[in-house]
């Protein structure tokens, strides 16, 4: 759900994603860190914790788009 939410709604702060998904901030942050370790998302600023801004990784987006061609 976290990756899908970022894909649909664009870059979001950790806290915004938590509210959007109805999950706790620590849970969403843990999911984001795991997704980042796999290269699916990246932190683009905003600080740390709930203020951090995350987006779908540009490289993963490009690879996903290429599957349609």
For the record, the structure tokens of 59 come out as 């490289």
Displacement of CA 58 from its chain's centroid (Å) = 11
pLDDT, residue 20, reads 96
Summarize pLDDT for 22-68 with one digit per residue, the tens: 999 999 999 999 999 988 999 998 777 778 899 998 765 545 544 54
* Mean pLDDT across 14-27: 95
Q: What is the pTM of this model?
A: 0.79
Q: What are phi and psi of 38, to 5 degrees?
A: -90, -5
SS3 (DSSP) at 35: helix
């Amino acid at each position: 759900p976290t990756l899908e939410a970022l894909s649909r709604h664009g870059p979001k702060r950790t806290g915004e994603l938590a509210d959007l998904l109805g999950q706790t901030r620590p849970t969403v942050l843990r999911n984001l860190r795991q997704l980042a370790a796999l290269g699916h998302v990246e932190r683009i600023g905003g600080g740390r914790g709930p203020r951090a801004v995350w987006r779908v990784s540009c490289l993963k987006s490009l690879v996903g788009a290429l599957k349609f061609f």
